Each structure stands twice: as C-alpha cells, then as structure tokens.
Amino acid sequence: MQGHRVGYVRVSSLDQNPERQLENVPVDKVFIDRASGKDTRRPQLDALLAFAREGDTVVAHSMDRLARNLDDLRRLVQELTRRGARVNFVKEGLTFTGEDSPMANLMLSVMGAFAEFERALIRERQREGIALAKQRGVYRGRKKALTPARVADLRRRIAAGEKNAPLAREFGISRETLYQYLRAAD
C-alpha cells in the first residue's frame, strides 16, 4: 500500500528557518514545530503521530530533529513502524521499517546517542555562559512574564477568591509561575 510522504520539521527558535530542512525533498504534508527537542511534548509532533498511517513514510531531515533523547527517538521510531509507517532520516540516509537489521538498530542507537550528547553539551555551555555573565554582573535572567500592574491585578483577583488554574490560563502563565508571583508578595 502506497501512503503519504509526511515531513516533520523542528526548529528550536522562532528566528530559525524551517524551510531548509526538507528543501528539495518531496513530501505530501509537512508538520512544523518551533520548539526544543528536549522532550516529545510538541503540538505538531502530536499531530503527525495522529496523522501517520500504515503505508506512510515519515521524513525528517535528521534524527535530532525528531528527538534529542535516545529513549524518545527509539520510542517514536518504534511507534511509527509498529503502525506500518516507515521513518526516513535524510541526512543520515537511513530508513526504518520495523523489520530492520541489527546494524540499522545499532545506527539508530549510536546516532541517537550523539544527538542526546549534543543536547547535553549545549545545556552545559549555556550554564557556563550564565555563570560567567552572573560573575560579570550582566546576567538579567529571563524576562518577567507579567508586568507589575498585571501582578497586582492577579494578586487582587486571587484575594477576591478567583481560582488559580483559570487565572493562570487567562494570564498565559503556568500555575507554578502564578504561585511564584504569590510567594513573592509574602
């Protein structure tokens, strides 16, 4: 059964160009995430997994675009191939079908381990850079999610008895962030 060629593209930041990843690669549909590969909680990855069917081929530029964690990568490839879909990684020149040779599985593990290692190096360099910036007194941290006026409004509404979860959604913050703002008032 001949299915769709389904592309998956992931870029880590909004200013990166997603088009280059599958340039000149024929696909019928593309799912694009603008998110970190640290885990698999990505809306377009979820949409791809819901869309992919038996006979489809999922195409990604490289393994690290699909996942930066070896366990996640293996799980995603196994989930797709178990459904009868193929998974093709253009850069590595590898395709997985579920009936793969031991050598193909070794390559998936080795290349996936490199992607995970690279992510760990990126995080380590980021931590080192932040530590050096703090020593120089130039690190400001992440921009605050809410202005002081919005924080005051949030605190007033909590004091009036409104529920935390709906307020967090309305203000576009997590409940943990809401709790941090409330603790800062103490």
Contact yes or no for 113/107 (Cβ under 8 A) = no
| Arithmetic mean of pLDDT, 139-160 | 88
Residues 15-72: pLDDT tens digits?
A: 788 989 999 999 999 999 998 888 899 999 999 999 999 999 999 999 999 998 999 9
Say which CATH topology domain 5-114 has.
Answer: Rossmann fold (3.40.50)
Strand 57-60: give its sheet, edge to edge.
29-34, 5-11, 57-60, 86-89, 94-96
> What residues are annotated to the active site?
12
Between the ranges 86-90, 131-135, 180-184, where is the mean pLDDT highest?
Answer: 86-90
| Arithmetic mean of pLDDT, 158-165 | 91
pLDDT interval class at 185 (50, 70, 90): low
DSSP 28-81: SEEEEEES-SSSS--HHHHHHHHH--TT-EEEES-HHHH-SSHHHHHHHHHHHH
Contact yes or no for 56/5 (Cβ under 8 A) = yes
What distance in Å separates the CA atoms of residue 43 and residue 139, rounded to the nearest whole number?
Answer: 32
What are the domain boundaries of the chain? 5-114, 148-184
The one-letter code for the residue type at 134 is K
Supply the pLDDT for residue 60.
97
Supply the pLDDT for residue 186.
59
| Arithmetic mean of pLDDT, 128-157 | 88
Q: How many CA atoms lie within 13 A of 54 on its CB side?
A: 4
DSSP classification of residue 20? G
